[in-house]
Structures are given as structure tokens and as C-alpha cells.
Amino acid sequence: MSEQKTTSRRDFVMGAATGVGAGAIGAMGLYSYSPAAYKRFASVPRGNREEFGAVRSVKITNISETSWFDNATLMGDIQAAGGLLVNQYTIGWPPFGNGKGIANGSFETGLESIRKMIPGDLEEAWALQSKLGVHPENPGGFSCLIEVESLDGTMHKYLLDTGWSFDWMDKAFKREKIDQMLAAHEIEALFLSHEHWDHFWGLPVPIKYDNRIPIYTHNGFYKEGLQYMAATGHKGKLFIQDKPVERVIPGMVVVKYDVPIINRVFGETSLAFNIKDKGLLSISGCNHQGILQCTAYMRNNLKYDNDKFYGIYGGLHISPFEDWDPKYDDLVIALKQYEFDKIGCNHCTGVITAHKFVERGYPVVKGTARFRSKTADYLGNGDTIVF
């Protein structure tokens, strides 16, 4: 990751922050919710689409979709720290708290306080950071297990993201027996969708059980993120994606989106699968690139069975803070054009959004509202879905 690229993307975010219209909206990852994005979607041509094979099935186990437990607390912290464009590592949240309170956090001092404890003694590390960090009771995390059956019957297991709170995520991993799978080296790789606190800061948890697991990430991570990976004691291969589409196995690719995201985060990846005789499946952590932009890019650049978008899973980033706006209704309506067979949504999709999907009769796979998930209208913690 070159310094030139890092500097240019920072300039882009800062320019957007001081701009108006699409620039300012884009800086917050909201451009794809606007009417402009929907109009742009229809005009994008379908070129020479990439063939990437097929898989027989994909099963997803939601380890945790509850990234934090109280929206007001999280947004209050962000606003008190300086707003949406402030560096996430300076807010003061654990594991990068230093005892100086909101807006005075430090990646260096926070990490140094727990360096000798991770990944071996996560209880002690989180207990210390619970004293040094801001609102340590609020973090949860997003992470899911993905089990893929290839056409020849071979089974593959992957993790997408690692959550946030060491305490919450370690308990969630144990609840779903992820700790045992990692220790037995059954999980082939860990994919990190983006650098945000609730998807990445829980990294010491899986590393505690398998410090040689291959990690797939992208070139949008800042130096702090790369230093954190090393500090966890990770000894395995690190794949840093720099091109738009990266093949993993036949029928599975990683798609990279270069998009500025709140709190000085850049870029997100989504996973795409071609399900034999069914069509395309997209799995995302947060979809900061926007669900319309995500689906439009995959539709226009990937070749899949029946030329059908079969399903989606994960966070769709539609009103994640339950601040519903009429433009979100347009987005919900726009999704109908894909005629998904299955929608497995949660996390930053938002409870109101899930309710609206259900009201419109969309094929939403419901959950059980266990383990502190807020509604049965989406797939909550511990729930599964099969494509």
C-alpha cells in the first residue's frame, strides 16, 4: 500500500467532507441511497463478464450481528469525538483506550497497554481496557461462519470478520464452537471486509485459537490496521487484495470496492458465489459501498447461472441507526428488481428496514431473536441460512 495512494484517499475524504451534494454524501457512505445512484444504475452497461465457476451450496452461521448494543451511546461518542470523519483509533473505545476519555484515545498507547496480553489472555486485556476505554459495555461485533460445498463435494469453511469486544466475541465463538474449528484448523481462511471497529478490532479472538490462519484483506487498511494484525501474533499468510476481483476457489470470488467510509476507514470487500443452477449470492459485512452499487457491479462484471441474482446475506447498511428517511423507501422498492429468492439480512440493515422488507413480502429468512438480537424479522445471533 503506497503512501501516495494513502494520501490521495485521505485528500478525497477531506474534500468530500467540505463539499456539498454527492461529495459529502459519498464521504459518509450514503451515496448509494440517493436517487442519483439509482438512476446511474440503469445506465451501467454489462461488459465481458467474468466466469469463475460454481459451488453446490453455501451455509452461513451468524456468530454475531450485534455490533453494539445502544445506538445513542455509539453516536454520542462519535459526535463528542469530533464527528463522522474523525479517526476511529482516537475516539477512545477499547481496545485503544488510554484512560484519557473521549476524543483522546491513541492507537499506540492503547495497543501498548495490552500488547503482552494478546492473544493469550483476552480476559485480562479486556478487563484492563474496560477501565481505560470509553463505554466498554457497548461493543459487540459482526462475524459469520461460511461453509461452502464445492461441486466435487469438498467442504470449505471460512470466517468473515472478527467483531469488536474480546469478551463478547470469545463467548460467541465458543457458543457456535468456532473456537474448536479454529483449533482443529478446519477453517481455511479469515476474510476482513473493512477496518471498522465492529468488524476488525476483535481480531485477537480467532488468532488466540489459530495464529496461522490465512487472512484475506485489501489495500484500504491503514498502517494502524496492519500493525494491529502483526501485534495479535498472527503468523499465517496475509493476502492484501489490490485488484477489483480476486478468485478464492472455483465459484467464489472477493470483490473490492474503493469507497470512503465514516471514521477514516477506506474500502470494503464483499464475497460472491455462483450457486450451481441457482445464481449469484452476495455476502457482505456492511455494504458501505451501497447495496445498489454492490449488486450493480456484480451484475455487470460476474457471470453466473441462470443470469439470476439468487440471494444476499449480511449488513445492507440501510438506516443502521434507525433514522428512517423517505429515500430509504425508494431503496427498498428498488431492490425488488433483482427478484431475490432469499434475503438473509441483519446487522446494519436496521430493524426498521427488516420490518419493511417483511411488510412488502420480500423473501426474508427470519430468525429467532436469541442472544440479544433485537428482532425475529432478520437472522440474529446463532441463526443459520442455506443457499
Antiparallel, parallel or unpaired: β 265-275 and 238-241 = unpaired
Q: Write the DSSP string, 256-285.
A: EEEEEETTTEEEEEEEEEEETTTEEEEEES
Residue 278: CATH number of its domain: 3.60.15.10
Give me the average pLDDT of each 10-residue run along the chain (387 residues): 37 32 38 44 66 98 97 96 96 98 97 98 98 98 98 98 98 98 98 98 98 98 98 98 98 97 97 98 95 92 97 91 81 87 94 91 95 95 98
Beta carbons of 320 and 33 less than 8 angstroms apart: no
Q: What is the pLDDT of residue 45?
A: 65
The CA-based dihedral angle spanning residues 25, 31, 33, 37, taken in that order and rounded to the nearest 10 degrees: 140
Please name the residues in contact with 11: beta carbons below 8 A apart, sequence gap of 6 or more. none
Residue where a domain terminates, one of 138, 162, 194: 138
Residue where a domain terminates, one of 87, 110, 138: 138
Total structural domains within the chain = 2
Task: Give yes or no: residues 77 and 54 share one domain.
Answer: no
Task: Give yes or no: residues 133 and 186 share one domain.
Answer: no
Cα–Cα distance list, 381 to 141, 174, 285, 346 (Å): 10, 13, 14, 9
Task: Give yes or no: residues 157 and 296 share one domain.
Answer: yes
Q: What is the pLDDT of residue 178?
A: 98
Task: Give yes or no: residues 178 and 82 share one domain.
Answer: no
C-alpha cell at 164: 469488536
* SS3 assignment, position 55: strand
Task: Give yes or no: residues 81 and 181 share one domain.
Answer: no
Task: Give yes or no: residues 94 and 225 share one domain.
Answer: no
Task: Give yes or no: residues 255 and 338 share one domain.
Answer: yes
Domain span including residue 120: 69-138
Please name the residues in contact with 7: beta carbons below 8 A apart, sequence gap of 6 or more. none
Task: Give yes or no: residues 114 and 223 share one domain.
Answer: no
Query: Which of these, 369, 199, 344, lies nearest to 285 by C-alpha position?
Result: 199
Task: Give yes or no: residues 110 and 183 share one domain.
Answer: no
Q: What is the pLDDT of residue 35?
A: 46
Task: Give yes or no: residues 221 and 317 share one domain.
Answer: yes
Task: Give yes or no: residues 190 and 331 share one domain.
Answer: yes
Q: Is 32 exposed, middle or buried (0-12, 13-18, 19+ CB in 10 A)?
A: buried
Residue where a domain terminates, one of 122, 138, 154: 138
Task: Give yes or no: residues 295 and 353 share one domain.
Answer: yes
The model's pTM: 0.90
